[in-house]
Amino acid sequence: MLSCLLIRDFVIVDRLELDFEAGFGVLTGETGAGKSILVDALSLALGERADALVVRAGAKQAEICAEFTLRDAPGLADWLAANDFDSESCLLRRIVDGSGRSRAYINGAQATLGQLREAADFLADIHGQHAHLSLLKPEAQRALLDAQGGAQALAQQVAAAWRAWCEARTARLAAEQDGEASVRERELLTWQIRELTELAFDAGSWQTEQEEQRRLGHVSELQEGVAGALAVLDEGEAAALSALHPVGSRLAELAVVDPALEDVAQLFEGALIQLEESALALRRYQERLELDPARLTQLDERIQAVTQMARKHRVPAEELPAVLARLRARAAALSLSADPAALAAREREAEAAYRTRAGQLSALRVKTAATLAAAVSHGMQELAMAGGRFEIALTPLAAGSAHGIEDIEFQVAANAGQPLRPLAKVASGGELSRIGLVLQVMASQAHPAGTLIFDEVDVGIGGRVAEIVGRLLRELGRSRQVLCVTHLPQVAAQADWQWSIAKETVGAETLSRVQVLDAETRIGEIARMLGGERITETTRRHAAEMLGFELPASR
């Protein structure tokens, strides 16, 4: 459930902090007051795309924070923990700057937009005011049917099986058409693989070989340098250590006389020890440093061979093992393409796997279509479409497709005695709104989210139908948190709580303000929705009656 929404510098909102309640709540107000801005802000927090236009004029950035309780989001705590987010709460935060760049956070930790959207799937389901229009598209009808039947994962498996079948068929056809070219390519690959295999390049030893070659190539220079250093330190007539030891002894004696020299004497003694250890290490290095012309020649040849091979394949030497792996994979694929029988068998296996998955999906769709059609037909009777029928036609596709082995089409007969026809061709605007609303409510019931948001989905209806829609949303609000942006008093009157959104001019700015309505102010808002500019006592009584409130005595 959405518990709190904080909005800063978003469109015409300077700052709003809203605490939400459970049940069915409505947002009302004049057209253009900013009701849908709240929904837009929440959508941004849930991972929608952002641009610079959402930042309020004169502000540096827009910020939206949405806090949800975990109680109504089963599985979310596990998802948060699996993605290394704190799993004790759920706070989504989105910041958009003036250039349109945005940052996202989950429980204070930076997150990707993809992660924000994944979390949102557990939390909220938003239906926009034009959502019913998408129902005219075949892909939207298919997606709604699969969502209602819980078949999304199976539909993805069908699509993957279709792609595998297409790839197998393409490979067979290519092999039949390009047999001679494949033979030439296999011969070239065999030669290249043999070359790389004989080279036996090992990325782990490559660095060691280069270092050894560099050292052997500069042995004389290294020997000369080490000998010179030893001569200065400990082997020449004027060796430094020979001269410094007496100095150290003398400083130690003087430190006994004057303790102020004790630190100096200790530092000097430490320096002498370091110099002695340096001389010892140089002698050991000198003993190991020997000329080895044969080994140097071997390394030179090895490095030259590796370098030439890397240049030949136009990659750094370290990538030669990856080149060999790619060549072997291509050779294996070509070997398969040289065997038409194997390719044909592979294609048959891929087709069989597709047909099996698609058949399972089709069976689930048939079952779901019958259930959904009955539920929508029942909803049409309640929404003043007596005798109307809704059906979902599943037309078989012999060849299949990435979406399955049938086309899906929503069909409707808006009135009794009329034949079923495609939804896009027979439904009027009002009829489409009502049917779309029933479908959206059905889709919401199948969605796991604890918060359902309807943004002016009741456009195109009114009167008794609007009252029925209000009752439908109130009933939905008994098991979920339902938020609805509406212009209809019949819908608003059914809500458990109501907010009024209005514009306010502050200086040269127009800002959006939210008022939480109590019983008296709610009567006034419903009366405004009923009567327009001039609100009479009769209108107020009608509003109070719709709300089931006692009208306060006139002053």
pLDDT given at position 129: 59
On whether the CB atoms of residues 334 and 182 are closer than 8 A, the answer is yes
Q: What is the DSSP letter of 55?
A: B
Q: Which residues pair with 394 in a beta bridge?
A: 408
The amino acid that residue 24 corresponds to is F
pLDDT given at position 555: 45
Span 137-172, pLDDT tens digits: 888 889 889 988 989 999 999 999 999 999 999 888
Span 203-228, pLDDT tens digits: 778 888 877 777 776 676 777 777 77
Going along 404-491, which residue ranges are E strands?
Answer: 404-413, 421-422, 451-455, 481-485
Closest Cα partner for 469 from 480, 482, 450? 482
pLDDT given at position 154: 96
Strand order in the sheet with 124-127: 124-127, 451-455, 481-485, 24-28, 497-506, 509-516
Q: Is 265 helix (H, G, I), strand (E, B) or coil?
A: helix
Ordered structural domains, the chain, with CATH: 1-129+456-517 (3.40.50.300), 130-154+354-447 (3.40.50.300), 203-327 (no CATH)
Q: What is the mean pLDDT of residues 264-288?
A: 84
Closest Cα partner for 13 from 57, 49, 44, 48? 57
pLDDT given at position 203: 79
Element (H, E) at 466: helix 463-476
Give dist(CA 28, CA 51) in Å, integer.
26
Report the mean per-residue pLDDT for the chain: 84
Span 196-208, pLDDT tens digits: 998 888 877 888 8
- For residue 191 the two structure tokens come to 């030669």
User: How many other C-beta atoms can be found within 10 angstroms of the C-beta atom of residue 78?
Assistant: 11
Give dist(CA 144, CA 376) in Å, integer.
13
Q: What is the mean pLDDT of residues 23-37?
A: 83
- Please give the angle made by the CA atoms of 219, 222 and 223, to the nearest 5 degrees: 85
**Per-residue exposure over 350-388, b if at least 16 CB sit within 10 Å of its own CB, e if not:** bbebbbebbeebbebbeebbeebbebbbebbeebebeeb
Span 464-494, pLDDT tens digits: 888 888 888 888 888 889 998 888 899 999 9
pLDDT given at position 236: 66
Span 16-26, pLDDT tens digits: 888 999 999 99
Pairing of strands 24-28, 497-506: parallel
Pairing of strands 481-485, 451-455: parallel
How far apart, in Å, are the Cα atoms of 51 and each of 34, 102, 137, 356? 18, 8, 27, 44
pLDDT band at 373 (very low <50, low <70, confident <90, very high): very high
Span 72-92, pLDDT tens digits: 777 888 899 999 898 888 999
pLDDT given at position 275: 87
Q: What is the mean pLDDT of residues 329-341?
A: 74
